[in-house]
């Protein structure tokens, strides 16, 4: 009986909880940001950090799984909504989307080298050149 219970416990799907960390350069004066402030940057509703400094916004590829989780968490938008939003803004000539980087290490590297950069990764980085300004589990 115990063996059957153990097998059932090991085979039942567990809820997956994953981190998402929004990161900025370690020298950035911003200590923390709200999801609304981050969403405003990623949806081009503002171009500056709460401190007033210009933000260089970096994203992940269009259909990247982390990107889907990120926009659901910060803006309550599905990826198709985000892609439609950006298509409309680009078609009207109003804005261009954040620059896409190929992976999380590239995001960390770019944020570390650029004082005004912001990005997000699926873990809390231990790199001393970046700091986390928003952290949540989805």
Query: Going residue by residue through the chain (138 aa), what tens digit of pLDDT does each one get?
Result: 555 444 544 444 444 557 999 999 999 999 999 999 999 999 999 999 999 999 999 999 998 999 999 999 999 999 999 999 999 999 988 899 999 999 999 999 999 999 999 999 999 999 999 999 999 987
Phi and psi torsions of 76, nearest 5°:
55, 40
pLDDT at 13: 42
The span from the CA of 133 to the CA of 69, in Å, is: 17
Residue 31 burial by Cβ neighbours in a 10 Å radius (0-12, 13-18, 19+): exposed
Residues counted in the chain: 138
CATH code at 16-137: 3.40.190.10
Cβ neighbors of 100 (< 8 A, separation 6 or more) are 58, 59, 60, 61, 62
pTM: 0.86
pLDDT at 94: 83
Inter-residue contact 137 to 17 (CB < 8 Å): yes
pLDDT at 60: 97
Cα distances (Å, whole numbers) of residue 61 to 8, 81, 94: 38, 15, 21
């Amino acid at each position: 009986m115990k063996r059957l219970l153990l097998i059932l416990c090991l085979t039942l799907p567990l809820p997956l909880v994953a981190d998402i960390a929004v990161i900025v350069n370690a020298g950035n004066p911003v200590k923390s940001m709200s999801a609304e402030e981050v969403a405003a940057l990623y949806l081009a509703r503002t171009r500056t950090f709460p401190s007033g400094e210009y933000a260089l916004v970096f994203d992940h590829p269009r259909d990247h799984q982390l990107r889907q989780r990120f926009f659901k968490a910060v803006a309550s938008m599905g990826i198709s909504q985000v892609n439609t939003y950006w298509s409309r803004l680009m078609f009207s000539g109003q804005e261009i989307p954040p620059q896409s980087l190929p992976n999380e290490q590239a995001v960390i590297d770019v944020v570390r080298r650029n004082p005004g950069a912001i990005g997000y990764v699926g873990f809390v980085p231990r790199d001393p050149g970046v700091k986390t300004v928003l952290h949540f589990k989805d």
